[in-house]
Amino acid sequence: MTRLILAAAAVLASGMVPAQAQQADGRVLAMSCLNCHGPGGKSGGDIPSIAGKSEDFLKNALVDFREGKRTGNSATVMGRLAKGYSDDEIAAVAKYIATLK
């Protein structure tokens, strides 16, 4: 309980509202993807580019990774990462990344 109150105090002290009240944002969710898939989603290496892919393609690929339907040497880290996102989050990520041309 004390811990909860302390956490609440810390939240108030830093002028922030609790995270639960916040909305998922496709861009914020997708920004970390670019550290591997490259600036603007263009890789330039063995990791595939994600720029220029359709929203449906991206959504299906992420769901397949998450459900373990993509396996083998092209599914090294993506299965582990995709498991970190809900359906809504995957939809938001796909929608944002589809805007990268």
Binding site for other proteins (CB under 8 A): 7-8, 10-11, 13-25, 27-29, 31-39, 43-47, 73-74, 76-77, 80-85, 89
The 3-state DSSP class for residue 22 equals coil
Distance of alpha carbon 12 from the chain centroid: 28
Alpha-carbon separation of residue 61 from 6, 84, 88, 93, 95 (angstroms): 42, 14, 15, 12, 13
CA distance 90 to 66: 10
